[in-house]
Amino acid sequence: MSDDIRTKMGLRPVINVSGTMTSLGASIVVPEAIEAMAAILPQFVEINDLQRKASAVIARLTGGEAGFVTASCSAGISLAVAGTITGPDLLAIERLPETSTPKNEVLVQMGHMVSYGAPVDQSIRLAGGKVVMIGQATSTHRYHMENAITDRTAAAVYVVSHHVVDYGLLNLKEFVEIAHAKGVPVIVDAASEYDLRLFLEQGADIALYSGHKFLGGPTSGIVAGKKELVRNAFLQNMGIGRGMKVGKESIFGVMAALEAWEKRDHVGIRERETGYLNLWKETLSDRPGITALIEPDPTNNPLDRMRVIVSPQEAHITAWDLAARLRSGPTPIIVRDHEVEHHYFYLDPCNLHPGQERIVAARLAEELDKARASNEVIATPFEDLSRHRFDGALRWPD
């Protein structure tokens, strides 16, 4: 029997070339974090004191004045927004999401109103915030934001993600400049970002990170920034944050993952990932209907991905059917397919165990050979995928 815990449990042993996706378990947790979590699990600690220790580590790595660990970056949005609404008022904290002050509006560019598995605006509304969208989906100008700020504005949220519209919007420096001119704090959702210092350096008051994505820690979120605002967010653990709490193992695991980040061989990791991408490019070269492009990360993280463009008439299969075939069978391979209706998907090399890159290459070749041998183009109507997208979730746990 395999030693893989997944097969012992009857779970599919997936290979993740989608990226740091929460739905797949986010990332491979680094050994340092695993060791730290195992060491503290049998012990009792005073959680607030442990969070003070975490604050020092977070401050050192991010350049912020303070920080703490919460359940997720999504939780971090809610807590940070709540802190700007209630301040240190403990009664106001207990009353959320009902607010006793009209200062509860939160600005978000319309092009940043995305879903990361849940809507960004829901995290704000959970905190009692009233979302005020500025601009249009593909354009936000200074006058949109300047005229949206009133004496009811509590905060402005800026989202950094491959999901957002990547043109025509205010960049972070300009967003901060406009907000700060009227005394409004800026909260940056940087869940999947590699650079732990950039957003605070560019003027954000709070930066929020996932602890379980590039950092390779346990499922968690990191809140970092100005001490007073971070404290006000931390105090929400006496209110809405209670349902977003983390245990001692997550706090200590994040501390260990952050310290391991300082020592990580980032250059060596990039070189290994480049080797994977080159292998896949070689595998896909000269295949009818397939174009393989190595592209940089859209939010400037220091990594590349492969875009696999599929011409159905030549490849005899659509991009979405190829993605479906890769994720079926005894060795499921999950690609990044959020734009697959445009006839491409991505292969992300950042979450592979050694040797899995060759399994990916072999499966790509196998499925493309099968498709070419077909007398007809394998083309499931895309609207059928849309119609049945949530069937599995709606049948859960069956």
- The mean of the pLDDT values for the chain is 93
pLDDT-above-70 percentage for the chain: 99
* pLDDT in the model for residue 21: 83
Q: Tens of pLDDT along 109-144? A: 999 999 888 999 999 999 999 999 999 999 999 999
SS (H, E, C) 219-258: CCEEEEECHHHHHHHHHHHHCHHHHHCCCHHHHHHHHHHH
Residues 145-204 pLDDT 10s: 999 999 999 999 999 988 899 899 999 999 999 999 999 999 999 988 888 999 999 999
What is the average per-residue pLDDT within 70-76?
Answer: 95
Bigger pLDDT: 329 vs 189: 189
DSSP code of 112? G
Give the residue carrying structure tokens 């492969």: 306
| Residue 237 CB partners (closer than 8 Å, separation 6+) | 79, 244, 245
pLDDT at residue 346 is higher than 80: yes
- Cα 253 from Cα 262, distance rounded (Å): 15
Q: What is the pLDDT of residue 198?
A: 94
Q: What distance lies between CA 194 and its chain's CA centroid?
A: 11
Helices (H) and strands (E) in the chain, counts: 17, 12
Top-tier CATH class for 266-393: alpha beta
Whole-angstrom distance, CA of residue 196 vs CA of residue 62? 5
Two domains, one topology: 28-263 and 266-393:
no
Over residues 13-17, the mean pLDDT reads: 92
pLDDT in tens, 19-34: 888 887 788 899 999 9
The pLDDT of residue 1 is above 70: no
CA distances from 147 to 82, 100, 135, 141, 314 (A): 23, 24, 11, 10, 52
Domain ranges (residues) in the chain = 28-263, 266-393
CATH number for the region 28-263 comes to 3.40.640.10
* Per-residue pLDDT at 362 exceeds 80: yes
pLDDT score recorded for residue 100: 83
Structure tokens at 214: 């590039």
Say if pTM beats, i.e. exceeds, 0.85.
yes
Per-residue pLDDT at 2: 66
- Smallest Cα–Cα separation from 159: which of 217, 73, 66? 73
